[in-house]
Amino acid sequence: MSNILEVNKVVKTYGDYTALNEVSLSVPKGSIYGLLGPNGAGKTSLIRIINQITLPDSGTILLDGEKLQPKHIQSIGYLPEERGLYKSMKVGEQCLYLAQMKGLSKAEAKKQLEYWFDKLDIKGWWNKKIEELSKGMAQKIQFVVTVLHQPKLLIFDEPFSGFDPVNANLIKDEILELREKGATIIFSTHRMESVEELCDHIALIHKSNKLIEGKLNDVKRAYRSNTFEVGILTSNVEGLMYDLTQKFKVSPASFKSLNEDLKLQIELGTANSNELLHVLTQRGQVTHFVEKIPSVNDIFIQTVTQ
């Protein structure tokens, strides 16, 4: 799988402040790529550079193998975090205007708009002014404007903020469908659960530097600590604890279970899971045995606070 976007050692400074310090990223074609990082990490700076809103001080960016240039504006769809529309302009006119700015002809823009308005069930809004719409409704329009010109690369900055759960789900499905159709999606967000759910690749930027990048599973594998969550029914708790603490690091755990079992979190260190199972089966009945996979949230917090 080739990369649709290659960011090579991009540096961006504002006066004395370095917003991006030699950041490199590779976004594979057809992926949903989560761009993570705390506030002020440099995500927006990077996104603005990819959108050619600002220029990098040094470094190169390749889009689909070509050096980034003005014509690529048409290949990118961008939904900024700070979003808005002309309040006193009518929905239809506004969409046409923004679509034409992305290089679509008026006829083509109209055709696409009809398709999307139909799809999102907002047909009746064409002649309404934005100021007459609710925030969530305006967000839908905004989403349409972003994807209208069928870009290869979509960049969503906090796409679900401002949507109610129903609409958020609708948008999520649309995003997945766009991916099915071949688009690549870069996703910048703080909402880790949506990252877990949607992303197959992630990158973490912190204090202007990229700290982590890769497939979500690879990253998780790298961050796993060989820790297992165990539930066990036993009559001899002391004996079990004695055996376990001889070999492993044990701490209490909490997870949902129907049994009145003993819940433990056990770090194996260099040992393998069979050794743990062996100890456990000798002392009681195992009701729960799961490797503790680090969540994106854990990885995020662990990396950022280090």
What is the contact surface with other proteins in residues (CB under 8 A)?
Answer: 14-15, 48, 51-54, 70, 73, 76, 78, 80, 82-89, 97-98, 100-102, 142, 145
Nearest residue to 291 (alpha-carbon basis) of 268, 275, 270: 268
- Residue 109: CB minimum distance to other proteins, A: 11
- CB closer to other proteins out of 126 and 223: 126
- Residue 254: CB minimum distance to other proteins, A: 42
Q: How far is 5 from 150, CA to CA, in rounded Å? A: 17
Q: How far is 95 from 259, CA to CA, in rounded Å? A: 57
- CB closer to other proteins out of 102 and 288: 102
- CB closer to other proteins out of 42 and 231: 42
Beta bridge partners of 213: 203
- Residue 290: CB minimum distance to other proteins, A: 44
Q: How far is 228 from 275, CA to CA, in rounded Å? A: 12
Q: Is 204 left (phi over 0), alpha (psi -120 to 50) or beta?
A: beta
- CB closer to other proteins out of 4 and 95: 95
- Residue 234: CB minimum distance to other proteins, A: 59
- CB closer to other proteins out of 52 and 234: 52
- CB closer to other proteins out of 14 and 255: 14
- Residue 70: CB minimum distance to other proteins, A: 8
- Residue 84: CB minimum distance to other proteins, A: 3
- CB closer to other proteins out of 129 and 215: 129
- Residue 168: CB minimum distance to other proteins, A: 20
| Residue 269 contacts residue 226 (beta carbons within 8 Å) | yes
